[in-house]
Structure 1
Amino acid sequence: MLSTAYEPLKLGPITLPNRFIKAGANENMSKKGRPTRAMLMHHEELVKGGVGMTTMAYVAV
């Protein structure tokens, strides 16, 4: 069952490299409800670390 987590997952036209998804959480990095450079860099680091998809909470994208 664990091997399934590492398999690609197709979501519509997008294929994720694995099934690890970071849920949206308040990272306290937005400014007035808008994403910041720090927030973008944080999510880029998560992806570089192997997370297949990230989601943001409390921001307008």
Structure 2
Amino acid sequence: APFILNKEKKFAVINGRDIVCECTVDAFPKPEISWYAPNGQRLSSFTEENSLNATVIVSQLHRK
């Protein structure tokens, strides 16, 4: 089973700015990492080739 090496729980959010969320896992075989918004929508992300790191950038956050 995959093991998540870093678990970020809280982010400082500044209105109109981006946040970067990263996930590093230790697993074999290499897992597919997906990111989801609180509403369940899958977010676009990228994974470094030959790596167990995945990153999602949430752009231009605004308070509702």
State the TM bucket, normalised to the shorter chain: under 0.3
Q: Higher strand share goes to which structure? A: 2
After TM superposition, the score normalised by the length of structure 2 is 0.25
Structure with the bigger percentage of helix: 1
